[in-house]
Amino acid sequence: MFEYAPAPESRSVVDLKPSYGLFIGGDFVEPGDGGSFKSINPASEEVLAEVAEAGPGDVDRAVRAARRAYDEVWGPMPGRDRAKYLFRIARIIQERARELAVLESLDNGKPIRESRDVDIPLVAAHFFYYAGWADKLGHAGLGSDPRPLGVAGQVIPWNFPLLMLAWKIAPALATGNTVVLKPAETTPLTALLFAEICQQADLPPGVVNIVTGAGATGQALVEHDGVAKVAFTGSTDVGRQIARSVAGTRKRLTLELGGKAANIVFDDAPVDQAVEGIVNGIFFNQGHVCCAGSRLLVQESVYDEVLAGLKRRMAQLRVGDPLDKNTDVGAINSAAQLERIRTLTEIGSAEGAERWSPPCELPDRGFWFAPTIFTGVSQTHRIARDEIFGPVLSVLTFRTPAEAVEKANNTPYGLSAGIWTDKGSRILWMADRLRAGVVWANTFNKFDPTSPFGGFKESGYGREGGRHGLEAYLDV
Ligand code: TAP
C-alpha cells in the first residue's frame, strides 16, 4: 500500500473554485430549485468542489435561454460568423490544454498522459473540424439549404467528459442549434471550465448552457417541451428510458450506448503489435470505453504465444497516480463503478473462468482495480456478455474466420470491433460481416473527428463525427 499524493506542481495549473453554479444565459447562476453535490477526485476521495444541482425550474431557465439565443442570435447568424466563434473556442482549448488535461485527470481519474495526448487534442480537433463545416452546410450532401432544429438537449457520461461534450456541442453549434448540456454527476468540472472558455470566446449568451446534476436533471432536460433534439451518450438502460420518453413527441433523438467489442487476432498477425493493440484496446482509460476491446478472440494456433506476450506486457503496466506522466492505468471513476466491476469479476470466477492479474500494488485510498484477464471464458458467461466498463478482458478462442465472425457478432451490442491479420483480403472479408459501427484493422481505439462513430443493434443509432454527424442536427 502507498499513499496517493498528487504531484503539487501539476495540480497548481488548475484554479479550482470551492463551488460552481449553473451556466445559464452566459453567466454562472445559483440554482433556484436544486441543491448541490460534491465532485471528488476518484484517486484520493478528496472533495474537489461543490457543484450546483439543477432542478426542473433551472432546466427550464436554461432551455428558455437557449431558445432566446437561437431565435435572436445564433439561428439567424451566417455560418461564416458561427465558424469564427468555433475556431476561437478551438484555439482557446489549445491554449488552455494543460489546465484542461489536469482538471480532467483530477475529476475523472484517467492518466494525464491520456488526457494530455488524446482527450484534449481531440476536443480541439472536433471544434476545428466542425468550425470548417459551419459555412459549407449546403455542400454537405444534405440538400442545398439544411436548417437547424432549435435547442439541443445533450446528456453525456463520465468516461470522456470533455471529449463527449465536444462530440455533442461542436456539431450542434456549427449547424446553428443552441444547446443545454448535462455532464455526468461524477465529472462536471471540465464542462464548467468549458463554460468559462465560452465566456472568454465572447460566445453570445445562451448559445451554450451547462446544467449540472444527476439522472433527474438529465431526465428533466430530455423531457422538456422546448427541446427539439435529444442527444444522449450513456448506458443502454438509460438510453431505452429516454427513447420511451421521446416516443410520440416531435423531438429528434440520437443514442450512443454500450458495447462489448471483439478484438480478433489471427495467426498471421505480428504478435507484438497485436499484444500492444489488445492492451490499448482494454486498458486505455481503465477500460471505461464504450468501444473497448473487452472480448479477445484469439486463433487457437497462436493462443499460447499471444497469452504469454499479453501477460508479460500487463506486468509492465503502471497503475497509480493519474497525474504521474508514467502512469498507464489510473483510478476507477467512482465507488459505484468499482462495485460493478468487482461484482461482474466475482461472477466470472464463480462461473468457472480463470482469473489472472499481474502483481500490482494499489493505493489504499481512492478507487482502484488491477488490470485483469479471464481465460477459459465461454460465450454464455456473463463476463463475455455484459459490459463491464473496467480494465477486465475476457479471452475466447476460435479456429476459422467464420467462427470468429459468429462469435464476434454474438452480442446484443454492435459498436466496434478489431481485426489483427497480415492479409488485406481477410480484413475486407471480416469487415463486411462484422455487425459493428466501427471496425479497426491492425489498430484499436483510434478516433478522428472526420470519421463517423456510432453503433448497430443495442449500441444505439445515429452517427457522431464526420459529415454524418451534421445530419443529426439538421432538418434536411
Ligand atoms: P448512464 O448511467 O446511462 O449515464 C449517462 C448520463 O445520463 C449521465 O449524465 C447520467 O447522469 C444521465 N442520466 C441518468 N439517468 C438518466 C435519465 N433517466 N434521464 C436522462 N439522463 C439520465 O451511463 P454512464 O454510467 O454515465 O456511462 C457509461 C455508459 O455509457 C456505458 O454503457 C458506455 O458504453 C456508454 N458510453 C457510450 C459511448 C458511445 S459513443 N456509444 C461513449 C461513452 C460511454 P448521472 O451521471 O448523474 O448518472
Residue 319 has phi, psi (to 5 degrees) of -100, 130
Which candidate, 130, 216, 220, 215, places its Cα nearest to that of 180?
A: 220
2 — pLDDT class (breaks 50, 70, 90):
very low
Closest CA to 298 of 390, 394, 434, 372: 394
Q: How far is the CA of 84 from the centre of ligand 1 (A)?
A: 31
* Closest atom of ligand 1 to CA, residue 241: 18
Whether the CB of 331 sits within 6 Å of ligand 1: no
- Give pLDDT, residue 12: 79
Cα of 287 vs centre of ligand 1, distance in Å, is 15
Average pLDDT on 441-468 reads 92
Task: Indicate the pTM of the whole model.
Answer: 0.96
Q: Give every strand in the sheet of 208-210, ordered side by side.
A: 27-29, 22-24, 208-210, 178-182, 151-155, 229-233, 252-256, 460-461
Q: Which residues pair with 295 in a beta bridge?
A: 262, 394
Element (H, E) at 416: strand 416-420
Short-list 412, 398, 401, 385, CA closest to 295? 385
Residue 19 scores a pLDDT above 90? yes
Q: Given this model, what pLDDT does residue 112 score?
A: 97
State the cell numbers at 239.
Answer: 438510453
Lowest mean pLDDT among 7-21, 51-65, 167-181: 7-21
How many CA atoms lie less than 13 Å away from 426 in the CB half-sphere? Answer: 19
Q: Tell me how far the alpha carbon of residue 164 lies from the centroid of ligand 1, in angstroms.
A: 11
Q: Is the shortest distance between the CB of 233 and ligand 1 below 6 Å? A: yes
Q: What is the mean pLDDT of the chain?
A: 96
Q: Is 389 in the pocket of ligand 1 (CB under 6 A)?
A: yes
| pLDDT, mean of residues 191-201 | 98
Work out the burial of residue 87: count CB atoms within 10 Å of its CB; fewer than 13 is exposed, 13-18 middle, 19 or more buried.
Answer: middle
In angstroms, the CA 370 to CA 350 distance is: 19
Query: For ligand 1, what atom is nearest to the CA of residue 464?
Result: 40
Task: Output the pLDDT for position 11.
Answer: 73
CA neighbor of 165 nearest in space, from 133, 208, 107, 201: 208
Cβ(409) to ligand 1 under 6 A? no
Pocket test residue of 155, 165, 211, 387 for ligand 1, highest count of atoms within 8 A of CB: 155
**Edge-to-edge strands, sheet with 354-356:** 354-356, 372-375, 392-398, 295-299, 262-265, 416-420, 438-441
* From 154, 238, 338, 392, mutation site for ligand 1 pocket: most ligand atoms within 8 A of C-beta: 238
Query: Which pLDDT score is estimated for 377?
Result: 97
Collapsing DSSP to helix, strand or coil, 217 comes out as helix
Q: Model ipTM?
A: 0.91
Sheet with 19-20: list strands edge to edge.
19-20, 47-52, 36-40
157: Cβ below 6 Å to ligand 1?
Answer: yes
Pocket lining: 215 vs ligand 1, CB cutoff 6 Å: yes
Q: How far is the CA of 315 from the centre of ligand 1 (A)?
A: 32
- How many Å lie between the centroid of ligand 1 and the Cα of residue 123? 19
Whether 172 contacts 66, CB under 8 Å:
no
Q: Among this protein's residues, is 256 annotated catalytic?
A: yes
For 78-131, write each residue's pLDDT tens digit: 999 999 999 999 999 999 999 999 999 999 999 999 999 999 999 999 999 999
pLDDT per position as a tens digit, 251-281: 999 999 999 999 999 999 999 999 999 999 9
Kindly tell me the sign of the dihedral angle through the C-alpha atoms of 409, 413, 419, 423.
Answer: positive
Taking 50 as the threshold, does the pLDDT of residue 232 lie above it? yes
- Ligand 1 mean position, distance from CA 307 (Å): 33
**Whose Cα sits closest to atom 12 in ligand 1?**
215
